Amino acid sequence: MASGRLLSLDIFRGMTIFFMILVNTPGSWNFVYAPLLHAKWDGCTPTDLVFPFFMFISGVSMAISYAKYAGSRIGWINKVVYRGLAIILIGLLLNWFPFYHKHISELRVFGVLQRIGLSVLLVGVLIAFSGMRSLMVVTVAILIGYWALMLGGGDLSLEGNLIRKLDLALVGEKHIYHGFGIPFDPEGLLSTLPACCTMMIGYLTGMVLLKTSGNPGKVKWLLIAGMVLTAAGYIWSVLGFPLNKALWSSSYVLYTAGLAMLFLSLMIWLIDIRHVTGWSYIFKSFGQNPLASFVLSILLVKISLHIKHGEMNLYEAVFEKGFRPFFGDYPGSLMFALTFVLFVWLFAWWMDRRGIVIKV
Query: What pLDDT is attached to residue 4?
Result: 46
Torsion of CA 129, 133, 138, 140, to 10 degrees: 160
Closest-CA residue to 195 (of 130, 134, 110): 110
Alpha-carbon span 163 to 150, nearest angstrom: 8
Name 313's bridge partners: 308
Is 70's pLDDT higher than 80? no
Burial 83-112 (b: 16+ CB within 10 A, else e): bbebbbebbbebbbbeeeeeeeeeebbbbb
Phi-psi region for residue 5, left (φ > 0), alpha (ψ -120 to 50) or beta? beta
Which range among 212-216, 244-248, 259-263, 295-299 shows the weakest confidence by mean pLDDT?
212-216
Is 184's pLDDT higher than 60? yes
Alpha-carbon span 155 to 151, nearest angstrom: 6
Domain map (residue ranges) of the chain: 7-353
Q: Are the C-beta atoms of 109 and 171 separated by less than 8 Å? A: yes
DSSP 175-201: GS--TTSSS--TT-STTHHHHHHHHHH
pLDDT, tens digit, for every residue of 55-66?
A: 999 999 999 988
pLDDT tier, 191 (very low <50, low <70, confident <90, very high otherwise): very high
Is 1's pLDDT higher than 90? no
**What SS3 state is found at 312?**
strand
**C-beta contacts of 72-76 below 8 A and 24+ residues apart:** 73/128, 73/129, 76/124, 76/127, 76/128
- pTM for the predicted model, two decimal places: 0.94
Query: What pLDDT is attached to residue 126?
Result: 95
Which range among 68-77, 80-89, 325-334, 339-348 shows the weakest confidence by mean pLDDT?
68-77
User: For the residues 192-206, what does the mean pLDDT come to?
Assistant: 97
User: For the residues 136-154, what does the mean pLDDT come to?
Assistant: 95
User: For the residues 42-68, what does the mean pLDDT come to?
Assistant: 94
User: For the residues 343-359, what does the mean pLDDT come to?
Assistant: 91
Q: Are the C-beta atoms of 135 and 126 separated by less than 8 Å? A: yes
Is 297's pLDDT higher than 60? yes
pLDDT, tens digit, for every residue of 303-318?
A: 999 998 888 999 999 9
Is 102's pLDDT higher than 80? no
